[in-house]
A and B are shown apart, each in its own frame.
Chain A
Amino acid sequence: MSERDVVVRTANVVKQYGEGEAAVRALNGVTCEIYAGEYLSIMGPSGSGKSTLFNMIGGLDKPNEGSVFVNSVDIAQLTPRELAFLRCHTIGYIFQTFNLIQVRTALENVTLPMLFAGVQPEEAEEKGAALLATVGLGHRLHHRPTELSGGQQQRVAIARALANTPAIILADEPTGNLDLKTGQEIIDLLRSLNTERGVTIISATHDHKMLDVSDRIFHIRDGQLADVETRGEADAEAPLAHGPSASMP
């Protein structure tokens, strides 16, 4: 492994909202590479374009210029159906506002993406229950989101994001609506999923606790990638610097 695998690459992405006088350039030429298995945080002041970048990488919106490659596929070239497939299999989404489906139970929220992927219902339920147990909600399978606390809802959202064992988890301020302690628990959970399952985590955040666990940090200012900070001593950096064997203690 001489070069690290790139899961997401953006090339000169520009996103503009509105027209003429009222136009806002939310992203102004962002070029970056995100490596497989890293824990990446995207930092920046409010309005700097974090959520916009999140939407671009997640295939939730289209850039005005430039391209986004996920697993080296240019997502602008995909049909709506292929895009749905990509969202289903390759990316898991976590939102600040949890965005659980209010009319379904915790377990149903987790199994739904698997059913979209064509998994058999019994298998989906089994795996869904196991995932909810992993995030510490094994006892709340049949509760609806309105019957769960914010932290519990976010755990369900994390379990749901993991449903189809995606390569990437995209999180937009996952701790933004949680208190300090619950936020820390969610961060620890994401970090352990990252180390244990090797899932790439890309997380927009204001939260400084998040930075301590990150492998790299993108600093965004005014729609541009101002700075890339690497947390050198993190394990995940080892293969790049010394090769796999050197990372063993």
Chain B
Amino acid sequence: MKQTQFKNVDPPFWVAWNQALASLRVRFFRQLITSIGVALGIAFFASVQTLRAAQTTHDMQSEAKLRWLVGTSLVMCLVGVTNSMLMSVTERYREIGTIKCLGASDGFIVKVFCLEAMMLGAAGSFVGAGVGSVLMAGGLLASGEHVRSIQMLEITFLGVLVGMTLTVLAAIAPAIQAARMPAAAALRVEV
């Protein structure tokens, strides 16, 4: 009688990458809107960071105000992205169940969603951080204040990092939950 030989083979990285790209491409407009949500949040974040960088006097009170603004904007951004990511996972339960039937491991499914989130987050927050910091720096320049370009670069970089982290954080919990679900249950979900 044939005995099954179990091996641990994971598909190469690009398999997950291609799957994530295909998902992004086909759902382009929806993903674009999610991305714009990230961009808005990060634009606000970057503009406030630019404002902070331009401050020459260290006024404790306005510094505290700015921090508060940054904090709330990021929390709101996170809530918005979490909502989009939850929807993006739940509407794909069937697809997740199917991919599991084809032999995907739970890790593969989580990987696909994380990659998607990373790409979305990176695109959105890069645009957002760039636009936000440039606009704010322009405004400041008009009133005679200077922000060094190295600082702008730093702010853009930080913005992209924060935006990507937020999006991946928002995606990871629903993705893990969906991946762990028995395939039969995932396949039954009708959206």
Task: Give A contacts to B, CB under 8 Å.
Answer: 5-6, 55, 58-62, 70-73, 78, 80-82, 84-90, 93, 95, 99-104, 108, 112-113, 115-118, 144, 160, 164, 167
**A87 with B100: in contact, given A61-B183, A102-B26 (CB under 8 Å)?**
yes
Is the Cβ of B102 less than 8 Å from the Cβ of A160? yes
Nearest B residue to A82 via CB reads: B6
Interface of B, helix, strand, loop or mixed by DSSP: helix
A113 to B9, CA, bound (A): 12
Q: Interface residue tally of chain B, by bracket?
A: 35 or more
Nearest B residue to A52 via CB reads: B184
Is the Cβ of A61 less than 8 Å from the Cβ of B184? yes
Nearest B residue to A70 via CB reads: B4
Task: Give B contacts to A, CB under 8 Å.
Answer: 1-4, 6-9, 11-12, 15, 19, 22-23, 25-27, 94-95, 97-106, 108, 182-185, 187
Is the Cβ of A73 less than 8 Å from the Cβ of B104? no
Nearest B residue to A59 via CB reads: B183
Nearest B residue to A98 via CB reads: B98
**A85 with B184: in contact, given A58-B101, A103-B22, A116-B11 (CB under 8 Å)?**
no
How distant is B44 from chain A, measured CB to nearest CB, in Å? 32
Is the Cβ of B105 less than 8 Å from the Cβ of A80? yes
A82 to B6, CA, bound (A): 6
A208 to B187, CA, bound (A): 26
A144 to B26, CA, bound (A): 10
